[in-house]
Every structure is written in structure tokens, then in C-alpha cells.
Structure 1
Amino acid sequence: MRKEDVSVRVREYDKEKDREEVEEMERQCELGLQGKPSLDTDLMGDPICRIRHSPSYVMLVAEYGEDKGIVGVIRGCIKTVTRGKEPIGSFPIYAKVAYILGLRVLPTHRRKGIATKLVEKLEEWCKEEGAEYAYMATDCTNEASINLFTLKCAYVKFRTPTILVQPVHAHYKPIGPGITIIRLAPHLAESIYRRVFTNSEFFPKDIDVIISNKLNLGTFMALPKRVLHKWDPKSGHLPPCFAILSVWNSKEVFKLQVKGVSVLNYALCVGSRMLDAWMPWLRIPSIPDVFRPFGVYSLYGLHMEGGKGASRLMKSLCAFAHNMASDDLGCGALVAEVGRMDPVREAVPHWRRFSWAEDLWCMKKLSTTDYEDEKSGVPDWITSRPSSPVIFFDPRDF
């Protein structure tokens, strides 16, 4: 049995006492490799702001030594989500899951077991809150994080969704001819989402709360103009061909900044932006000013139906979201996370160099009994195959 390090104390974050120290600690943490381009994250407002939109959340800090200085931090939130549909039937199966994020330990205090202790303490809180599973997400190349969770904390590699990133250019993107885009009322958006994501994984039970959140900029549907006049939303039927997505204003929660690029790359990026601003009719694929703090819009709830024409609708819908972001000073990119085999993946415009082909999700079962699963005939989520290639991305988790 591993002997507990009594010099490490983990406790809940105190906003009044810890805010400045946590902010300074996170600034000191290495978020990239020395001498290579890195992406720094700057949370807006209180450090707990990134999770406070979730139904249940906590932030823990680790103190070390006699001076009890804060050397580590971790965040966690709990929600109820779908894990697919019932083996027989069309109703979704719900599970209470915890999402672990924001694990940071000062470079000077790593390899002392602090990260492991933070994860263990957070898991204790998750169990007390009734969470059945816990999961985390990391870049598939982040070996340190993967080893911590899989080798020391008994997590298993679970899903590998794709993160698609589209820079916001200085020029507007055109909407396809014959296509109209409408804004859906919250109650209609909720109704559609609950229908089309029934068989998916990680669809939140409180989708109505997300849609009505002040950070949600709206849910939009793209339709062929010939279909618009024939579709009656009150009928309860979906149009034969459509695309839908929602836009979340993540720039009000955190800012990003690219550091460590070469002078040549910096000049190329600035030059492309200036040329695009001077001659927008050329539609140059310019790069926004990512060398100063910038925000992003998160696209979620992406879904399309109607065959080949639906792909064109989704592209126009993404162009519409891009133009929204272009009007918002300081918004530098659109980000969408989708399942690796989700059909919308090929329809979402993105720059491959800025995107992640695989964003590794690792999961662990927290409940100690399989009785309920055996009773219902539902296999354990971690070992079962997904019932759908669709993974719903919760914008609160980004």
C-alpha cells in the first residue's frame, strides 16, 4: 500500500482566499513544450467559472509543505447523460457521470504524487454525489496525462472524438444558393435535439438548461428554401432535409493565446490578415491574430438529415456561424467536437493543421456493484460497443 504524503493537503477551493494564488499558479504551469509553439489558456473571472454552468461542480486545490502554498488544482462537474439506447427499444439509457478537467501542478512540484492525490480526492467527491462514471479528455499525444489516468488511476481509453477548428477570417463566407437559415425557439430546439440525439452518447438530460443559458447564442437550422414553406414546426414532424447546430460563446469564459512561433510564421499570419482586410473579395484564408488573447465560439448539437443535400446545408450553417463570429471582435476561431465516425465530420469546414484528429477520452467506473446492470440486462458502458457513432459535445466541458 502506498504511504500517503502528509505534506500534501487537498481541500476545496475558497474563492475569497485562493483566487489570486490559483491564478498565479496556473500562469506558471507549463502548457507547452519549451522552445515550441504553445497554446496558453486564460480563464475569465474567477478560476471556477469554467465549470459553474454545470448542475454540480467542485474545484479542489493542493497545498504543500509547512507554508501551505497552493501547488496544484483540479476541477470536476457532474451531469446526467445518455450512454446509448436500450438493447430492446428506442428509449435512451441515462447515467450520472463526472467530467474531470483543469488538472494543473506546478512544474517545481511534479513527480511527488500531487496529481494522483488530486484525482483521488475528486473521485471521492464524485462518488458522494452519486456519479457512476468519471471521464477526462486529453490530447492523444499527452503521454504524461494519459499515463497518470490509465496507469495510476485505473482509467481506460474509451472514445476518440475529433476536434475541428476553423479560423475566423476577415471576410464573410457565402451562404449557399437556395438555402435559408432560421433561428429556432428554445422549446423547439430542445424538442428536436431530444429526438435526433436519442441514440447518441453523452447527450445531457438538462439540454434545456444549456439552450437557455446566456452563453448560448442561439440554435439555427438550415433548410432548402423550397422546403421552408412546406414545413410546419407545430406538426411535430422534422423537415425531410435539414441541418442544425447551436452556438456557445466560449470567449466569455476563457481566452487563448499562441506563443513561441517563429518570426517568419508570425509575419505570414499578420500579412494574410491585412491582405484579407484590404481585399475581402479575394476571400483569402487568413489567420486571425492568435498571438494576442482571443476567444472562440463552440459549435455543438451538429446534426443533418436528407442525404447528399444535407452536407451542403451543414456547410452553409457553419458559414453562418463564422459570419456571426466575424462580427464579434476578439473571436478568433470556431470549434466543434464530433464523433470520429459521425457523418457531420466531413461536412464541417476546418483547417487540418489547427484541428485534432483524435481527442482521447478515458473513463473509469466509480460504482462498486454491477447489480443494476445485471438486473436490466444492460452491459457495462465501458466494455460495451457504442450504439451510435454520434457523441454529443457539451459546450460547458470545453
Structure 2
Amino acid sequence: MSSSEDEPLVAAVQAPPLNIPSGATVSVKIIDTTTTIKVPLSLQMGPKIMGHDDLFCPAYSFLIEHPSGRKLLYDLGTRKDLENLSPSIVGMMSAPGWHFTVEKDVAEILEANATSTGSIEAVIWSHWHFDHIGNMETFPSSVNLIVGPGFKSGLLPGYPTNKDSHLLESDWAGRELVELEFDARSKLGQFKAIDYFDDGSFYLLDAPGHAIGHVCGLARVSKGTGGEEDTFVFMGGDTCHHGGQWRPNQYLPLPKQVFPTKPILGRSVCPGSVFQKLHRHNSAVEEYYRMAPNFPQDYQEAEKTIHHMQEFDAAKNILVIIAHDCAPLEPNSGFKFFPNGTLNDWKRDKLDRRIRWTFLEDFLPAIEQGAQQETTMEAGLTFRPR
């Protein structure tokens, strides 16, 4: 679903400056990890919108390649052999309404496409949840594992030393486990940042709240020429799980017109006001969904992280992709998945405009019935380290 980007329903508020210094670039390739997830939406967010009962989504990995030849992976999706996750996770996945399928491990996808797992310098886990950590045993011990703040003190030891742990000690056994240390003096926007390659090409961002050690990534993928700005890809991890959790907002109101992939109310061009009326507060500048109170590790910090990401999403030179966004996999998205291309030309290809409002199509049943979003929500899933 695309939109008429220059015509919001209401005037947008200007987002604060991000103050990103100049720097080099990297190549970013998005990998479909072949993970498919279906869970009840109310476990993670609300209030309910009629007809949108489940979160049905993929999980992405990102291959970051520096001009020097150094390579990183940000996230790995879910491991293929689900039965070999820690017993506590295997038990949780059998809950009613939960369905997971995985066709391949990321290591298989890389090796099948002329990218050796031995060429990877490090894997970065956005956080410790099982649908992001893959199977580190499929990578040689030379591959470091990078985790966010608080990981070691909050999550070690893993299984089997701690029989109730959600994590497997085998994921880091025999390899270097690197825990990031952020300095408040180095910030991009409102995120504390680490310049990984020391040349401004790729940053890791401290993005707390959803889970212990949650981190995002920011990659510079092109240098501006002829007055154009540099362009970036923002890897949002699980800052949000659905586009309606951070859009619309004061910086990015609903557009006056949206162009759905299939007719809405018999129209190929749909007024944005139709989606405004669906909103529980009839708002064009407030997110549809809020996090379920029990779901994030720290609700207030998670809410701040969402607001910080919204400031990046408002920038016309930054493409924001969360781990579980269905939109890039839509046939008309224009995305080229590994090994068929990179995200470096996303601005030229207008990928941001192609996917920004695609999530609204999840609300078509409610729109067709003239329903309005409910105002109350459930407490949600409690998912904490053991």
C-alpha cells in the first residue's frame, strides 16, 4: 500500500534533529530467514481491531558488509530444529494459537549463496528472544556473538546449567561473547550509540525496554550527491511488532489518500479519513496499538524507545524496518532479498513509500464492517528470563 506522502490529513510536527555525523557506507542485504510466526495479537498489543486477531509475520536477518570485507549479521530469526530450543521455550511454543515454521537456518541460506559462515566476523543479537537468536552452533567458533547491556548479569548461565533458562549455553560456548557498553556522551537522536567500524558506516543503538539488552542498528547505505542527503537503514528489531504500534504519529500523520493493493469499499484510492474513523480516538496522529502492559521487560523504557524510533522514521532519508514487518515480503514492495540485491538504493526505489502504510490493510475487515477499534485491552503475555 502506497500513499500520497506530501498530503497528511493534519499538519505534521517537525521531528527533532538526529545529529548524525558524516561517515562511510556499508552494504546492507535483508535476508528472509524462512521463519513464519503466528501468535494471538492480544498477547503483545491492543486494543483489538475487529478481524485482526493474530500477528502473522516473518523474521528478518541483515547482512552488513563493510568495504574492507568485514561482515556482520544482525539477528538470525528462529532456528530450524525447533525441538532443540531450550525445554522452557519448547513448552511455551505449544500454547494454544501459537504456530511456528522454519525452513532453513540462516547459515544454510548463506552457504547456499556463496557466503561462507566463516567469513562472518560477528552475529549481533538484537535481543535474546528465540525468534531472533537462530542457531549459533551453525557458525564456526571464530564468529563472535555480540549482545546488549545486561545480558551476562541478567541471562547467564543458560541451559542446561540453569535448567529453566530460555537460552542454550551452546550458543556461546567456545566463542567470544561480547557485551556492548554504551556511553551517554555518544548519541544519535536520543539513542546512545556505538560506531562499530569507527568510520560512521554502522552504529549499534541502545534501545532498552522490550527485553534485556535490546539493541537496534543504523547503517549508512549511500552518500548524498548534488545536494541530496546520505541515506540510512534503521534495523528496529522488536522495538515494535506491527506498523500500527508506531504509526501514525505526530511526525507522520495518516495521509489524505492511500493506495491499497486491493480495493477498499470498492475503491482503488481510499481516503485516509476512513482509517482515522477506525481509530479508537478518531486520531490521525496516534498509534493504533499500544504494547500489552505485561509484555515488555520495562514498559516505560520500551515506550521511550518507540518514540525515539519515530524520530528516525520521520526522516525522509531513513528506511525503518522492524524484525517482523510483513510489508517487505509483499509482491509489490520492490524489496530485493538476499542474494538478489541490497537495500542501498531504497531511496531511489521509493521502498519507504511502498511499505509505510501497508499495515493498514490488516484492518480491512473492520473497515468493511464500519467497526471502530475497541478501547480496552488485555494484560498480555509475561515473557521474562528464568
The answer to which structure has the higher helix fraction is 1
The normalised TM-score by structure 2 is 0.28
TM-score (norm: length of structure 1) = 0.27
Which structure's residues are more often strand, by fraction?
1
